[in-house]
Amino acid sequence: MSSIKNEAERCLKCPKPMCASNCPVATPIPQIMNLFLDGKMAEAGEVLFRNNPLSAITSVICPHERNCMGHCVLGKKGGPVEFYRIEEYISRFYLETMTPPEIEKNGIKVAVAGAGPAGLSMVMQLLLKGYDVTLFEAQDNIGGVLRYGIPPFRLSRDLLDMYRELMIRMGLRFRPNTRIGTNIQIADLFPDGYKAVFVATGTGRPNKLGLLGETLGHVHFAIDYLKSPDTFTLGSRVAIVGAGNVAIDAARTAVRRQHSHVTILHYKGTEDMTANRDEIEMAEIDGVEFVHYAQAVRILEDGVRCVRVVRNETEDGQTVFEEDYSDTFDVPADSVILAIGQGPGADMNTGSVKLTQKGLLDVNEWGETSTPGVFAAGDIVTGPKTVVEAVAFTKKVFPRLEEYLKKQ
Ligand X SMILES: Cc1cc2nc3c(=O)[nH]c(=O)nc-3n(C[C@H](O)[C@H](O)[C@H](O)COP(=O)(O)OP(=O)(O)OC[C@H]3O[C@@H](n4cnc5c(N)ncnc54)[C@H](O)[C@@H]3O)c2cc1C
Residues at the interface with ligand X (CB under 6 A):
61-62, 113-119, 136-139, 144-145, 149-150, 179-181, 200-202, 204, 223, 226, 245-246, 249, 347-348, 378-380, 384-388, 390
Q: How near is the Cβ of 103 to ligand X at its closest, in Å?
A: 23
Is 23 or 150 the residue whose CB approaches ligand X more closely?
150
C-beta of residue 342 within 8 angstroms of C-beta of residue 223: yes
Is 298 or 385 the residue whose CB approaches ligand X more closely?
385
Is 187 or 212 the residue whose CB approaches ligand X more closely?
187
Q: How near is the Cβ of 170 to ligand X at its closest, in Å?
A: 19
Is 25 or 387 the residue whose CB approaches ligand X more closely?
387
Query: What is d(CA 142, CA 163) in angstroms, rounded to the nearest whole number?
Result: 9
**What is the chain's length?**
408
Is 295 or 394 the residue whose CB approaches ligand X more closely?
394
Q: How near is the Cβ of 353 to ligand X at its closest, in Å?
A: 12
Is 207 or 328 the residue whose CB approaches ligand X more closely?
207
Q: How near is the Cβ of 240 to ligand X at its closest, in Å?
A: 12
Q: How near is the Cβ of 94 to ligand X at its closest, in Å?
A: 20
Query: What is d(CA 167, CA 366) in angstroms, rounded to the nearest whole number?
Result: 25
C-beta of residue 240 within 8 angstroms of C-beta of residue 250: yes
Q: How near is the Cβ of 210 to ligand X at its closest, in Å?
A: 20
The residues, ordered by sequence, that sit 6+ positions from 91 with a Cβ below 8 Å of its Cβ are: 45, 48, 49, 55, 56, 59
Strand partners, 368: 375
CA-nearest of 205, 216, 202, 212 to 337 is 216
Strand partners, 310: 322
Strand partners, 133: 110
C-beta of residue 376 within 8 angstroms of C-beta of residue 199: yes
Burial 40-51 (b: 16+ CB within 10 A, else e): eeebbbbbbbeb
